Amino acid sequence: MSSAISDASKPAGGPTPAWAVYPGRPARRAVRLFIFISSAMLLTGLVSMLFADLLWRSGWTNSSTILLVLFVILFLLISIGCLHGIYGFILRTFGDPDQITRLGDYPSQSIEGVSTAIVFPICNEEVARVFEGFRATYLSLERTGQLEHFDFFILSDSRDADKWVEEERRWCELALELDALGRIYYRRRISVEGKKSGNVRDFLNAWGRRYRYFIVFDADSVMRGETIVDLVKLMEAHPHVGLIQTVPALVNAESLFGRIQQFANRLYAPVFIAGLNYWAQGFGNYWGHNAIIRTDPFMQYCDLPSLPGRKPFGGQILSHDFVEAALLLKENWQVWFAHELQGSYEETPQDIIENAQRDRRWCQGNMQHGMVLFARGLRGVSRIHLLLGIFGYLASPLWLLFLITFNWTLWFRQHTGLSVITVRALTPFLKLSGTEHAFLIFLICMGVLFLPKFLALIDLAMDGPRRRAFGGLRRATMSALAETVFSALHAPLQMLWHSQCVATILLGTGVHWGPQKRTPDGIAWFEAVRHHWANTLIGILWGTVVWRIDHATFWWFMPVLAGMVLSIPLSVLTSRTSWGERAREHGLFLTPEETSPPSELDTLRVRMALLERSGAAAPPPPDASIAEAVLDPYVNAIHVSLLREKCLNPDYRQALAALGVGTPEVRELGERMLSKGPEAISGPEKILVLSDADVMSWLHRQAWIRSSDALAGWWQSSIRQYAR
C-alpha cells in the first residue's frame, strides 16, 4: 500500500510563475509562438491575396466577399496544420532540446516515497476489455519493480445493472489472481453528476489527498510500466509542471478503417506533435487521458464551474480536458506534451459510423468552449488551443458554405449570361492566365494539405529502425498514398456530419443514432444504408446540379462528390476486419505495434483471444448478472460488502438515502423481482434494488430458501445453472 502523503503532496513550488524554473523561457516561448503564428499568417495572407486577385479578375460580387472571408479562415486553419508538419519535421531532423523529456535529468530521479494513483474512469464499457487492458498495464508496471508506489482505481459510472455486477466480479477475480487486494480498488458512483470529470472529482474528494499525482486512463488505454514510472519521474524533476500529456498511439485496430486511422496516427502524429510542441512548450494541452496530473493544484483550481444558460452551451462543461489545462496554466502551472515518451496506447473506432458518433460527442464539447474562450484570466495560448478545437468542427460548415457559395457564383454567372472578363491585376506580374491563376491556387492548397504527409514520409525514410517498424519505405509510401485517397473520400462525409452536428448543436437539438448493428466482420449493408442514404442523395443531387452548371467544374468536384456518392460501400467495406487483415497481409498500413507488438499489447491480445474463444468475453445475456448478484454466494458477498463499505463515506451514504435505499419500497421491489422475475421491474428499479445492501442479502437468502412455487420460473432456471 502506498503511503499517505498529505503533507508531502504539496508541491515544492506553489503558485509562483511557471517560468521561474527556466529563466528566459517566456521570451523564447513567446518568440516561438510569434514566429509560428506569424508564419501561418504570412502564408495565409499571401495565398489569400492571390485568391482575392483571382476573384477580382473575374469580377467582384458579394459572393466574392463571402468566398474570400471563408477562404482566409479555412486556409489559415490548413496552413496551421501544414506548419505543424513543417516545424515538426525540421525539429525532428535537427533536434529540439526544448522538450520536457530533455529538460533536466529525469531518469535519475527517485520516486521513493511518492504515491501515485492510476485511475480508470469507466461507464458502461465492454467490461472484459477494460479489465484486460488494466491487467496488461498492471503487469507491465509490476515488471518495473516500482509497483509499490502505485494504487489502481477503477472508477465506475456504469448505469447498466449487468455491467455493474460484471465489473465487481471481474475486479475481485483480477485482484485475487494478481494478489493485489489493497492495491487495486473498485468504486462505483451513486450519481453520475459531472460525467467523467465528475467521476474523477469524486475520486479526488475521497482519496485525492493521499496521492501526489494521479494518472488518468481511458477505458481502452494501455500504458507501459516504464512510461508510467517516467511520467512520475518527470513530474518529480519539474515541480512546476501541473500536467504531462503523453501522445497515445492508436493500436489494436482490426478493421480496414481502424487500421488506416492507426497508420495515419503513427506515421503523421510524431511530426505534427513536434510542431505543436514547438510553440506550446510548457503551455500545452490536456486530452483527457493517458496523462499524469499533479493532484494538489488540480484539486485547487480545476473543479469546473457550471456554465450559465441552457444546453447545449450552458450547464456542465463536456470537454473538460482543454478547460482543465487552461485553468492550470492560468494559475501558473505548466502543461507539457511528452511526445518522446513511447508506450502510451489507446484504441480507435472501427468504422466510419462509430467514428462519426464519437465526433458528435466531441463536437458538442468543443463548440461549448466558445463560452470560455473569452474567460478573464485565461492565457492567450489556452485561447489558441480552445479556438483550434472549436474550428476543428466549425471548419466543416465553413467549407460546405464555401463550396455552396462557389457553386452559387458559377450558377449565377451562367444564369445571368455574364461572361468572365479577366482584368489586369496583381497576377500580370506573374504572367498567369485566369485558368493558370486558379490552378496555381489549387496547387498551393493541395501542397499545404499534403506537404506534412510527404514530410512525415521523409522523416520515416531518415529513421532506419522506425522505417523497418512500418514495414519498409515502399510499403509505408503505398500505405500513405492509399490513406490519402481514403481520407479524400472520407473528408466530404465528415464535412456533412460535422456540419449537421454544428447545426443541431446551435439549434439545441440532438442527433441520436442509437446503437449500431455490426456483423462479426463489420457494418451490415442495411445499417450503412440507414446512416448514409442522405449523404448519397446529397452527393447525387449536388453532382447533377454541378454537371448542369458546368461540366468542367463537375470533374473538379469529383473528389468531394465521390465520397458522398460512395459513402455506403465505403462505410461497409472499410468496416470489414477481413479487409483489414487482407491489407495487413499485403503489408499495407503496418504500424510499429503491429510489426513488433510490445509485451503489454501482446498480453492484451492473447488474453482477449482466450476469453473470446471460451466465450467469457461476450457480454452476459440480459439480467444474467442480476441472477449472479443474487444467487452466487460469492458475487453476492462481494456486492453487499462493497455497498456496506460505501456507506462509510458520508457523501455516498447521503446519496444512497436520496436514491431511496433503506425504504420499504426497495424490499417490495425485491419481492416483486423474486415472485415475477427481474423483467417485472424497470432498469432504474433494478439499480435501486442492487444499491440496497440489506435487500441484496435478503434476496440471496430468499432465492435459495424459498420453494419453487414461491419463486418465478426465471429464478428456478437460474438456480438450475448451478447444478451443472
Partner 1 sequence: MDVSLESALNDPAAGAEQTGRIVGRPLEDWNAAYAKVESYFHALRVRDKVLLGRLVIHVLKRAMRRAPQELQCPVTELAAEEMDLVVTDWFAQVLQESPAGTDHMLSTRGRLALLLADMPGKWQEQFLRPGPWPEAFVKAMRDAYLRAGPDFQLSKMAPRPLDLGPIATLTQLSQWSYGKMVFIWIAFALLLVAIFVLTHFPFTH
Q: Is 85 in the site for partner 1 (CB under 8 A)?
A: no
Taking residues 644 to 673 in sequence order and writing x for each that binds partner 1 by CB under 8 A, - otherwise, the string is xxx-xxxx----------------------
Instruction: Give me the least distance between CB of 294 and partner 1, in Å please.
Output: 14
Among 14, 107, 239, 633, binds partner 1 (CB under 8 A): 633
Closest CA to 333 of 368, 299, 367: 299
Instruction: Give me the least distance between CB of 22 and partner 1, in Å please.
Output: 17
Q: What three-state secondary structure class fits 180?
A: coil
Taking residues 489 to 518 in sequence order and writing x for each that binds partner 1 by CB under 8 A, - otherwise, the string is ------------------------------
682 versus 721: smaller Cβ distance to partner 1: 721
Closest CA to 444 of 27, 43, 9, 16: 43
Per CB under 8 A, the segment of 157-165, 216-224, 641-649, 661-669 that binds partner 1 is 641-649
Strand pairing class (334-338; 241-246): parallel
Write down the number of H helices and E strands in the chain: 27, 12
Among 15, 113, 377, 447, binds partner 1 (CB under 8 A): 377
CA atoms of 384 and 381, how far apart (whole Å): 5
**What residues pair up with 249 in beta bridges, in sequence order?**
345
44 versus 261: smaller Cβ distance to partner 1: 44
Strand pairing class (150-156; 116-122): parallel
Q: Is 33 in the site for partner 1 (CB under 8 A)?
A: yes
Taking residues 411 to 430 in sequence order and writing x for each that binds partner 1 by CB under 8 A, - otherwise, the string is ------------xxxx----
301 versus 547: smaller Cβ distance to partner 1: 301
92 versus 320: smaller Cβ distance to partner 1: 320
Cell of 437: 491563376
**What residues pair up with 184 in beta bridges, in sequence order?**
152, 181
Q: Is 374 in the site for partner 1 (CB under 8 A)?
A: yes
CA atoms of 98 and 84, how far apart (whole Å): 16
Instruction: Give me the least distance between CB of 662 and partner 1, in Å please.
Output: 15
Instruction: Give me the least distance between CB of 177 and partner 1, in Å please.
Output: 11
CA atoms of 259 and 255, how far apart (whole Å): 6
209 versus 466: smaller Cβ distance to partner 1: 209
Rounded to 10 degrees, the C-alpha dihedral 324/325/329/334 comes to 130
318 versus 327: smaller Cβ distance to partner 1: 327
First to last CA, the chain: 40
CA atoms of 521 and 696, how far apart (whole Å): 40
The letter for the amino acid at 692 is: D
Give 175's contacts (C-beta < 8 A, 6+ positions apart): 181, 183, 184
Q: Is 45 in the site for partner 1 (CB under 8 A)?
A: yes
Footprint (CB under 8 A) of partner 1, residues 150-169: 151, 153
Closest CA to 670 of 646, 650, 698: 698
419 versus 707: smaller Cβ distance to partner 1: 707
CA atoms of 121 and 110, how far apart (whole Å): 28
CA atoms of 338 and 285, how far apart (whole Å): 11
Footprint (CB under 8 A) of partner 1, residues 251-310: 299, 301-308
Q: What three-state secondary structure class fits 656?
A: helix
Footprint (CB under 8 A) of partner 1, residues 226-245: none
Footprint (CB under 8 A) of partner 1, residues 321-360: 327
Among 20, 49, 537, 609, binds partner 1 (CB under 8 A): 49
516 versus 716: smaller Cβ distance to partner 1: 716
Footprint (CB under 8 A) of partner 1, residues 169-228: 172, 176, 181-182, 185-187, 201, 204-210
Q: Is 66 in the site for partner 1 (CB under 8 A)?
A: no
Per CB under 8 A, the segment of 38-46, 353-361, 395-403, 515-523 that binds partner 1 is 38-46
Q: Is 717 in the site for partner 1 (CB under 8 A)?
A: no
Per CB under 8 A, the segment of 281-289, 368-376, 397-405, 459-467 that binds partner 1 is 368-376
167 versus 236: smaller Cβ distance to partner 1: 167
CA atoms of 22 and 173, how far apart (whole Å): 48
Radius of gyration, CA atoms only, the chain: 28
